[in-house]
Amino acid sequence: MLLYDLLIGPFVEFPFMRRALVGGLAVSLGAAPIGLFLMLRRMSLIGDAMAHAILPGAALGFLIGGLSLGAMTIGGLVAGFSVALLAGAISRATLVKEDMALAAFYLLSLATGVLILSGAKTNIDVLSLLFGSILALDDPTLLLIVSVASLTMAALAMGYRGLLLECLDPGFAAGVSRHGALFHLGFLALVVLNLVAGFHALGTLLVVGIMMLPAGTARLWSDDVTAMLGIAVLAAMVSNFTGLLISYHFGLASGPAIILVAGLVYVASLIVAPLGLMRRLMPRRHLEA
Amino acid sequence: MVPSLAFHDLTLGYDRHPAVHHLDGVVKAASLLAVVGPNGGGKSTLLKGIAGRIEPLGGSIENRFPSLAYMPQIGDLSRDFPVSVYDLALTGLCSRRGIFGRISRSDRDRAYEAIARVGLDGFEDRSIRTLSGGQLQRLLFARLMLQDAPLILLDEPFAAIDQRTIADLLVIIENWHAEGRTILCVLHDFEVVRQHFPDSLLVAREPIAWGPTATVLTEANLARARAMSEAFDREAAFCERAA
């Protein structure tokens, strides 16, 4: 019974734990594959930049509509889409690289947001925006998270080949398909959607953790993108489950606990995974040819 | 109508400085054309223009081929991307099957066949980051085969490639030629051009000569090309040649 109390009991006993688990697993399904593609595009830090772009929009929504799901979601989406699409379009049309374009527009978004909020003289609980409230997910929020996860998986399944080709060889992709812009901008839109859905659970900044850490973990275990997708989702889900339990048993904040577990999984993989440090420290015998 | 590729008073370049200046002419269907000339003479720029990567500064390119395959000198391919030799070859099928189209079993067999024909059998499951420069070039030729395009543009395919690989790849190019495909290939090795390429275009910003290789690669023409490749002129005046 000890194991039951440790692993399953909390979820059976408390509805809020069940909702947190469902929300966390759904966020994992959408965000982890997105993080993997970000990593493959060498845009691992873009998620963080986008999160900063979304924050002022969400805060503004909060200012106008109070603690309402709709206002904060719409605010975050508007700010995120504007920054992502502008930066994506600018990088396709000019010499400016995507990371610089994103840096410029997310900083504009951030500064504008801070300016408006500082003028509004309202005391917003910024902490809940930053770190989310996975233990307080209501039905509409859960529905939003699950919808975004479903949409993400459907979109990735359909656009898988084009997206991979865009990551692998953008010049070649442009030569064989006129849809390059669609895949590029569509993908950025998915990044924003997942960040906005995820911030209700984990907060605008920590949601990047469930996006990128499992992706980094997956890269260390496999050289095959399909396998990496599975590993990333699995790592994200395990981190959610374990993080929630740790936060429950030790009375810790849930969001940071989940991300810390994801981080520990990454560090452990860094050491023991086939493509990690262990292979360097203990090389196997080489072959004849 | 027989497909062809024509240049009409074509000027291509960067920041208003021409790299290809007032080029006129027609690349006949099924020809095997070497594009030669000094560095900075506009060879790569011409291929980029045909591939549609840059817009002409003047004149036009009339391309009647239904599709083309382009191998740039320095591609965008990220070499550390986790993809196998087989999967990278398969991407060549995207030009015919599209981004969403189904890849059939016979398509897959063709991919294995192409990999075997470039001499990479046994490498199918290897990650591309484990390939040497020459092996990667062989793989990119396999991808070109699967693209199955009537017009093929190759930008210095033999740079930093050993003799044996060059010989193997030349066989593939000659097969393409025999199949009736039109090929433009940028090269620096005049011996290879003389032996394998029936036609040549010599450019040194200005077109110098275009025709059968023996009449193009003459001492006089090559000396003119060298003389033309003067330094990039910062103070260049506006070109007054009638368009």
Inside any domain, residue B71: no
The Cβ of residue B175 has, within 10 Å, a number of other Cβ atoms equal to: 12
Model pLDDT for residues B114-162, shown as the tens digit of each residue = 999 999 999 999 999 999 989 999 999 999 999 999 999 999 999 888 9
**Does A223 reach chain B within 8 Å, measured CB to CB?**
yes
Indicate whether B156 and B242 sit together in one domain.
yes
**Does A168 reach chain B within 8 Å, measured CB to CB?**
yes
Inside any domain, residue A15: yes
Give the count of domains, chain A: 1
How far is Cα A163 from Cα A168, in angstroms, rounded to an integer? Answer: 9
> At A206, which CATH number?
1.10.3470.10
Residues B78, A169: C-beta atoms closer than 8 Å: yes
**Looking at residue B230, what is its pLDDT?**
61
Residue B97 structural domain: 76-149
B 46-65 near A (Cβ less than 8 A) = 51, 53
Indicate whether B142 and B88 sit together in one domain.
yes
Last residue of a domain, one of B149, B179, B194: B149
Inside any domain, residue A289: no
With contacts defined as CB-CB under 8 Å, which chain A residues touch B77? 168-169, 171-172
A 122-161 near B (Cβ less than 8 A) = 158, 161
Give the count of domains, chain B: 2
Give residue B154's identity as a one-letter amino acid code.
L
**Looking at residue A241, what is its pLDDT?**
96
Give residue A57's identity as a one-letter amino acid code.
G
* Per-position pLDDT tens, chain B of length 243: 578 899 999 999 988 888 889 999 999 999 999 999 999 889 999 999 999 989 999 999 999 999 999 999 887 888 889 999 999 999 998 877 777 888 888 989 999 999 999 999 999 999 999 999 899 999 999 999 999 999 999 999 998 889 999 999 999 999 999 999 999 999 999 999 999 999 999 999 889 999 999 999 999 999 988 887 665 565 677 887 765
**Looking at residue B226, what is its pLDDT?**
86
Partner residues linked to B151 by β-bridges: B68, B182
Which ipTM score applies to this complex?
0.82
With contacts defined as CB-CB under 8 Å, which chain B residues touch A179? 99
Inside any domain, residue B132: yes
Inside any domain, residue A285: no
Indicate whether B58 and B154 sit together in one domain.
yes
Indicate whether B86 and B56 sit together in one domain.
no
With contacts defined as CB-CB under 8 Å, which chain B residues touch A177? 94, 98-99
Residues B78, A168: C-beta atoms closer than 8 Å: yes
Inside any domain, residue A150: yes
Last residue of a domain, one of B107, B132, B149: B149
Give residue A276's identity as a one-letter amino acid code.
G
Q: Are A29 and A149 in contact (CB under 8 A)?
A: yes
Partner residues linked to B38 by β-bridges: none
With contacts defined as CB-CB under 8 Å, which chain A residues touch B95? 175-176
* Per-position pLDDT tens, chain A of length 289: 688 888 888 999 999 999 999 999 999 999 999 999 999 988 888 889 999 898 888 888 878 877 778 888 899 999 999 999 899 889 888 888 888 999 999 999 888 877 877 777 665 566 666 677 888 888 999 999 999 999 999 999 999 988 998 889 888 888 887 777 888 889 999 999 999 999 888 888 889 999 999 999 999 999 899 999 999 999 999 999 999 999 999 999 999 999 999 999 999 999 999 888 887 787 778 888 7
> At B33, which CATH number?
3.40.50.300
How far is Cα A231 from Cα A67, in angstroms, rounded to an integer? Answer: 35
Residue A42 structural domain: 2-279
Indicate whether B242 and B158 sit together in one domain.
yes
Residues B76, A179: C-beta atoms closer than 8 Å: no
**Does B44 reach chain A within 8 Å, measured CB to CB?**
no
How far is Cα B184 from Cα B131, in angstroms, rounded to an integer? Answer: 26
Indicate whether B8 and B48 sit together in one domain.
yes
**Does A182 reach chain B within 8 Å, measured CB to CB?**
no
**Does B78 reach chain A within 8 Å, measured CB to CB?**
yes
Indicate whether B237 and B139 sit together in one domain.
no
With contacts defined as CB-CB under 8 Å, which chain B residues touch A223? 82, 127
How far is Cα A228 from Cα A231, in angstroms, rounded to an integer? Answer: 5
Q: How far off is chain A from B95, nearest CA to CA, in Å?
A: 5
Q: How far off is chain B from A176, nearest CA to CA, in Å?
A: 5
Residues B83, A225: C-beta atoms closer than 8 Å: yes
CA atoms within 13 A on the CB side of B103: 16
Q: Which residues contact A264 (CB under 8 A, 6 or more apart)?
A: none
Indicate whether B97 and B110 sit together in one domain.
yes
With contacts defined as CB-CB under 8 Å, which chain B residues touch A168? 77-78, 81, 83, 88, 91
B74 is written with which tokens? Answer: 């320095």
The strand ranges marked E within chain B are: 5-14, 17-27, 32-36, 58-63, 68-71, 151-155, 182-186, 199-204, 206-212
Residues B75, A172: C-beta atoms closer than 8 Å: yes
Indicate whether B21 and B40 sit together in one domain.
yes
Partner residues linked to B182 by β-bridges: B151
Indicate whether B218 and B174 sit together in one domain.
yes
Last residue of a domain, one of B132, B149, B166: B149
Q: Are B200 and B210 in contact (CB under 8 A)?
A: yes
Indicate whether B143 and B184 sit together in one domain.
no
Instruction: Name the phi and psi angles at B60, rounded to 5.
Output: -155, 160
How far is Cα A52 from Cα A40, in angstroms, rounded to an integer? Answer: 21
With contacts defined as CB-CB under 8 Å, which chain B residues touch A183? 99
How far is Cα A96 from Cα A170, in angstroms, rounded to an integer? Answer: 16
Inside any domain, residue B154: yes
**Which runs of consecutive H residues, i.e. helices, occur in chain A?**
2-7, 9-13, 15-40, 46-65, 69-93, 98-120, 126-131, 139-168, 170-176, 180-202, 207-221, 225-250, 254-272, 277-281
Indicate whether B15 and B115 sit together in one domain.
no
